[in-house]
Structure 1
C-alpha cells in the first residue's frame, strides 16, 4: 500500500474508533485540571532511533526532563523509534502519540516532506506544540527549532581539502537522503565552497544509508572516475563502507570527509582512513528541545531557533572526541 493510502486508511480508522474526535475535544480544552497543572506527557518521534546519534539526542531530552522533574514539573517522556529508516512508520508513530493525548511533540523528522503532514493536520490544527530537533520540515509550525548549522558543516568539510588536495581535483558527494532538508544543506555547503576554492565538483551519486552501499558505490566510482580525489558523505556509516573499499583496492590517495561520528569512524580518522568528520552535538539538541518545549508549556517564551555550530574532527584533534556521547554508545 502506498504512503498516501496508508495514511488515509489510518485516519479513517482513527475517526471510526472515536480517537480523532476525542483528540479534537481534548485540544479545545488543553488546560490542565488543577491537580495536573504541572504534569506533562511529551512524545518524542525519532527516526533511525537505534543510531548513536539519535540515542544521544534522546538521552539529552531525558536529562532535561529529569531536571524539570527535580524542579517540581512532572514529565513523562514517550519515545518512538519510527521503524529505524521507514518514514511512513514514523508518520504512524506521530498519529499514535496524538491518540495518546500528548501535551507536546518533539520530533526528529526522517523525511522533511512526509512528516509535515501529521504535524500540520494533527498537532498544529489542534494547538499541540511541536519542537523540531535537527531536521527541518517543509511545512508546518513549531514553537522552537534546534538545529546544527548544516551549511556551515559542509563548508568546513570543503575547507579541509585546501591543505590536502591540489586545485582542480575532482570531488563528489555520495547522497543518501535527497528528501532530507539537512542533507541538502550539507551538500550545498560542501559543493558551493569546494567550487569557490577551485575544486572540480562532479554530479552527486545517490546511495542507500548502509555500509554495503557505501562500499559498492565507492568501488564503482573508482572504476568510473579513476582520478576521484575526494568523496563527501552525509553520514559516517556510508563513509565507513567507502573506506573499506579504498583499503581493499590499496587506494591511499582518495580522501573521505563525512558528517557525523561513532567509535568506528573516529578510529578511522586516527588511522588516516578518513580525513575528517563534521561532528554535531545531538545530546545538546535533545536537551534544548525538551527545555524549549517545557518552557512553552509552563507559560514561558521559547527560543524560536537555536543554531548549534558543528566541530571538525581530524587526526590532529581526534583524541578530543574520545568521550563524545556518540562514540560512547
Structure 2
C-alpha cells in the first residue's frame, strides 16, 4: 500500500491530532526563531575581510573592530591578508575568496589600479563589496567605503609641525610610493595647510618605498641640501622609523621635529624616548566595525552610507597615556581595544 493509502486509513481522531501537532510545531518553531533574533539583522551572513598587510598592528586593530561588530551582529567573519604590501600577493587571496562565494567582502586594496578589475569581478558575481581604509580609482561597484579622513589627518600633522617649529625653517615629507590612496591624501592635506605658512620652506615630497634605510638616507641628503631643516613629516611606520634614524645619526634628535603616522608600538616608543614629537593616530578600530555594519545593512536591505570617514588626532608624549589615546593605539591583538 502506498504512503497515501496508509494515511487515508488513519482514524479521523488521529488525523486531527496529527494536524494539531503539526500546527503546534510550526508555531513553536516560529516562536523559537523570534526568541533567538536579537534584532542584529546578521542572518548568518559570511563575510571575508582582506587586510592590506597580515601581522600589521594597524590592520590588527581594524580586524578587532570588525570582529567586535561581527559578534554583535551575529555574522561569520574570517580575516586574511598578504605577507607584504603587494598587489601580486593580495590579488590571489581575493580570487580565492571570490571562489568561496562569501556574502560580502571587506577589503583594503593595496593598489588603486591593480585591484580595480578583480574587485569589479567580485561585485559581478553578486558579492557585496565594502572598501575599508584604502580605495581604488573607480569605487562605484562598492556598496560603501569606510576610511580615515586622511586629508584632514594630514592637515593636523601640518598644524603640529607649525606649532613645534614656530612656523619657520625647512620641512620635508617622506612618503612611501605613488598609487596608495591613503598616503597620497595625507600629503595633500599636509601640503595644503603648510602652504598657508609663509615662514615655512617646504622642500617637497620624497619617496622611500616601505624602506626605513631609504627614509634615513632622505633625511641625510635633505639636511645636506637644507641645513635649516626644522621638521620631517613621515607618512607611515617605516618612513617614520627611518626618519628617526636619520635624525639620530645627524645628532639632531629633538632639534629636528618628527611628526609621523605611526600609532604602532614602535611609534609609541618613539614618542616616549623623544625620537618623534607627534604621531597622527587614525581609528582603524572604527573602520573595521563600520565596514561590517555597512555590509550587513546592504545584505539585509537596510540603508547604507556610501562614504564614511572616521576621525584622527595627534598623540604626543603628554597625552599618550590618556584612556582615549590608549583605546586607539594600534595592536595586532584585540587586547585593550
Counterpart Cα distance in 2 of 1:54 and 1:240:
18
Point out 4+ residue stretches in structure 1 off by more than 4 angstroms.
none
Aligned equivalent of 1:38? 43
Counterpart Cα distance in 2 of 1:104 and 1:161:
41
Query: May I ask how many residue pairs the two structures share in their alignment?
Result: 287
Q: For structure 1, which runs of at least 5 residues remain unmatched after alignment?
A: 1-36, 70-74
Higher deviation after alignment, 240-249 or 111-120: 240-249
Aligned equivalent of 1:146? 146
CA spacing shift, 1:180–1:61, aligned 2, 3 Å: same
TM-superposed deviation, 1:223: 2.8
Higher deviation after alignment, 268-277 or 178-187: 268-277
Counterpart Cα distance in 2 of 1:217 and 1:287:
37
Aligned equivalent of 2:16? none
With normalisation by structure 2, the TM-score equals 0.80
Aligned positions of 1:226-241 closer than 5 A: 226-241=227-242
Counterpart contact for 1:45–1:80, Cα < 8 Å: yes
Counterpart contact for 2:105–2:127, Cα < 8 Å: yes
TM-superposed deviation, 1:168: 4.5
What RMSD over aligned residues (CA atoms) do the two structures have, in Å?
1.9
Aligned equivalent of 1:311? 313
TM-superposed deviation, 1:317: 1.3
CA spacing shift, 1:328–1:80, aligned 2, 3 Å: closer
TM-superposed deviation, 1:293: 0.5
Counterpart Cα distance in 1 of 2:211 and 2:76:
34
Aligned equivalent of 1:20? none
TM-superposed deviation, 1:38: 2.6
Higher deviation after alignment, 80-89 or 45-54: 80-89
| Structure of greater Rg | 2
TM-superposed deviation, 1:323: 4.7
Q: For structure 2, which runs of at least 5 residues remain unmatched after alignment?
A: 1-41
Q: Encode CA deviations 1:239-260: one digit per residue, 9 max, x unaligned.
A: 1222122223211321111123
CA spacing shift, 1:323–1:38, aligned 2, 3 Å: closer
Counterpart Cα distance in 2 of 1:328 and 1:316:
24
Counterpart contact for 2:56–2:332, Cα < 8 Å: no
> Matched residue of 2:321: which SS?
helix
TM-superposed deviation, 1:189: 0.5
